[in-house]
Amino acid sequence: MKLSTKGRYGVKAMFDLAQHLGEGPIALRSIAERQGISEHYLEQLVSGLRKAGLVKSVRGAQGGYTLGREPGKIRVGDIIRVLEGPLAPVDCVSEEDPEFCAKAESCVTRCIWEKVRDSIADVLDSITLESMLEDAKKLETDRSLYMYYI
Amino acid sequence: MKLSTKGRYGVKAMFDLAQHLGEGPIALRSIAERQGISEHYLEQLVSGLRKAGLVKSVRGAQGGYTLGREPGKIRVGDIIRVLEGPLAPVDCVSEEDPEFCAKAESCVTRCIWEKVRDSIADVLDSITLESMLEDAKKLETDRSLYMYYI
DNA sequence: TGCATATCTTATTAAAATACTCGGGATTTG
DNA sequence: CAAATCCCGAGTATTTTAATAAGATATGCA
């Protein structure tokens, strides 16, 4: 039940883009350096995000990537689904075209995996890049207040 | 974010044992046949479950396995944790000894993985073998009622 | 125009994890 | 004793992961 680096790196990279919103296209190299990710590997991940419309690219010198739409309209769930495939702890309850199983109607364990899938989806779809930016801001002021009292 | 066969087979096998409660020790071979699992592979999984006290073994002819405690006191989460390791979508929020990360205090993505972990744990720890038996019974009567009306 | 900077695309690969398989030993019942 | 069963460790084929590499394409700027 682990996320691969694809999902983790992808969320990091998208959040990095959100943090640099309005600064024009951001080069992958700078994202990779800030987040400590292999640039070439990140390239592959971002390629998928671009095809899904989550980022837009600008080629050539001074090029780079920007968010495909407003941060409030990009959910962490959207990112994870692109990079890790449809949410599903097991294939028979996949969000899209679940694997057929003859016993599905009478399967008790299936109900469990459905609940797990839905609870994960609820969490990931309730968090947007915008809400993450707000959280980061809050974390920042909390920390500076804390420093102040010490 | 997939469960491996270890977790899936393990839950199936434990539920099978619950369904045969009170029939004395159940041989692995019969569980493997009913559930369509490789017997030798299941052996490895059950070995872990035994060390964790979730099943008891009886060696020798007519031997087999029984549940280690009442079905109401065995949560699906207990089974998954034994077979798949501590719940954690990423290592830095592992349920036990999470991987150290210097940026943990100010990490926004970390909060996400914590929420995911907790929501998964909530689901898996709310389901016991006993509640699964009840669900199975209910599914059964629902299906026979349905058949009756056709 | 030409060079530096980027994205884009495909192929290859090393290492790890997964899902078994196999062989043999220990223990108990009939 | 023989059959059934659990117990244990080693070996292995396949798949996935996480990169790495090499080159093609596009663009801004001097």
Asked whether residue A150 is domain-assigned, the answer is no
In a domain, B133, yes or no: yes
Residues of B in contact with A14 (CB under 8 A): none
Which helix (H) or strand (E) is B39 found in, with range?
helix B39-51
Is residue B108 scored above 80 in pLDDT? yes
A120 contacts in B (CB within 8 Å)? 1, 116, 119-120
pLDDT at B142 (0 to 100): 84
Is the residue at B44 inside a domain?
yes
The model's pTM? 0.94
For residues A110 and A115, what is the distance between their CA atoms, to the nearest angstrom? 9
pLDDT of residue B49: 98
User: Strand D nucleotides below 7 A of a protein CB?
Assistant: 2-10, 16-22, 25-29
In a domain, A41, yes or no: yes
User: How does the average pLDDT of chain B come out, rounded?
Assistant: 95
Residues B127, B19: Cα–Cα separation, whole Å: 15
From the list B119, B124, B122, the residue with the least C-alpha distance to B83 is B124
- Per-residue model confidence (pLDDT) at position A143: 76
Chain B contact present for A101, CB below 8 A: no
pLDDT over threshold 70, residue B73: yes
Neighbours of A136 (CB within 10 A): 17
Residue B33: what are its φ and ψ, rounded to 5°? -65, -50
pLDDT band per the 50, 70, 90 thresholds, residue B148 = low
* Token pair for B71: 């079905």
Q: How many structural domains is chain B composed of?
A: 1
Identify the domain containing residue A107 by its residue range: 5-145
Alpha-helix residue ranges (DSSP H) falling in chain B = 5-19, 28-35, 39-51, 76-84, 108-125, 129-149
- For residue A69, is it within any domain? yes
Candidate from A3, A109, A119 with C-beta closest to B89: A3
Chain B interface disruption, residue of A83, A123, A134, A150, most B CBs within 10 A: A123
pLDDT at residue A148 in the model? 67
Confidence of residue B28 (pLDDT cuts 50, 70, 90): very high
Query: Which domain CATH number covers A19?
Result: 1.10.10.10
- Whole-number mean pLDDT of chain A? 95
Q: Which residues of chain A have pLDDT under 70?
A: 146-150
Does residue B91 sit within a domain? yes
- Residue B150 lies inside a defined structural domain of this protein: no
